[in-house]
Amino acid sequence: MPHRPYEIDVMISAKAIAARIEDLAREIGREFADTDKLVVVGLLRGSFVFIADLVRELDMPVEVDFLEASSYGDGMESSREVRILKDLRGQIEGRDVLVVEDIVDTGHTLKHVTEFLQTRNPAKMRCIALLDKPARREVDFKADLIGFEIPDEFVVGYGIDFAQRNRNLPFIGKVRFTDPA
Ligand code: PRP
């Protein structure tokens, strides 16, 4: 598929992300101080970099699991329907759970996923998102912990893609289109 040409400017450096993750890990440690073994649930695919760095800063026993929700993409834009494509491997009933997401945009994905997981009766569930774009919100949802609040910019990197590119950038970048359009 042809692409509009673009360049990427650094919005949040790898160093700034690492420093923020240390703070977030401390907050999670306090929030789950009484937890035996925390179930850390990453939402595929975007969260894979964040969850990898985050769990390595957590000073507590953790279990890592993944869930994949459908991207509503172009065709589903109007319905905002979110479907579960890949379920958890483990049980969460009666467990303490931390849901890890890369970005909250309209809020549909995390709202749906947390409602879905809540039906399994976890003892306690909290959500963490590295990035929050409140200007784009369409539903009433706020993550319990947020790394950075960002303006309504097109961001990539640190797990986040643009048409499946740029997930491997070590920083959060802002897309700048370079064609005259
Ligand atoms: C992105 C992102 C979040 C979701 C946020 O995922 O990773 O999961 O969209 O958007 P929302 O708040 O408007 O629901 P995407 O569907 O692009 O899939 P990916 O994680 O596989 O990149």
| Residue recorded with tokens 């923020």 | 20
Q: Is the pLDDT of residue 73 over 60?
A: no
Contacts for 64-71: CB closer than 8 Å, 24+ residues apart: 64/40, 65/39, 65/40, 65/41, 65/89, 65/90, 66/41, 66/42, 67/41, 67/42, 67/43, 67/113, 67/117, 68/43, 68/44, 69/43, 69/109, 69/112, 69/113
Q: Which residue lies with its CA nearest to atom 4 of ligand 1?
A: 109
Higher pLDDT, 149 or 73: 149
Nearest residue to 68 (alpha-carbon basis) of 98, 97, 28, 101: 101
Phi, psi torsion values for 168, nearest 5 degrees: -85, 5
Q: Is the pLDDT of residue 75 over 60?
A: no
pLDDT in tens, 148-173: 999 999 999 999 999 999 999 999 99
CA distance 40 to 42: 7
Q: Edge to edge, what strands does the sheet with 84-86 contain? A: 84-86, 62-69, 38-44, 96-104, 124-132, 145-149
- Delineate the domains of the chain, giving CATH numbers in brackets: 13-153 (3.40.50.2020)
pLDDT band at 19 (very low <50, low <70, confident <90, very high): very high
The pLDDT value given to residue 76? 45
Residues in contact with ligand 1 by the CB-under-6-Å rule are 43-46, 71, 101-109, 161
Q: Which residue lies with its CA nearest to atom 20 of ligand 1?
A: 46
Mean pLDDT of 18-22: 98
Residues noted as catalytic: 105
Mean pLDDT of 66-92: 81
pLDDT band at 74 (very low <50, low <70, confident <90, very high): low
The pLDDT value given to residue 41? 98
> What does the DSSP 8-state code read for residue 16?
H
Token pair, residue 11, equals 């919005």
| Site to substitute for ligand 1 among 103, 110, 152, most atoms within 8 A of C-beta | 103
Q: What SS3 class is residue 118?
A: helix
Percentage of the chain exceeding pLDDT 70: 94
| Residue recorded with tokens 């991207």 | 71
**Ligand 1 atom nearest 102 alpha carbon:** 7
Among the ranges given (8-22, 78-92, 125-139, 152-166), the one the predictor scored with the smallest mean pLDDT: 78-92
Q: Is the pLDDT of residue 2 over 80?
A: no
Bridge partner residues of 86 (DSSP) = 68
Write down the mean pLDDT value for the chain.
Answer: 94
Mean pLDDT of 8-17: 98
CA distance 95 to 155: 33
Q: Is the pLDDT of residue 105 over 90?
A: yes
Element (H, E) at 7: strand 6-12
CA distance 176 to 174: 6
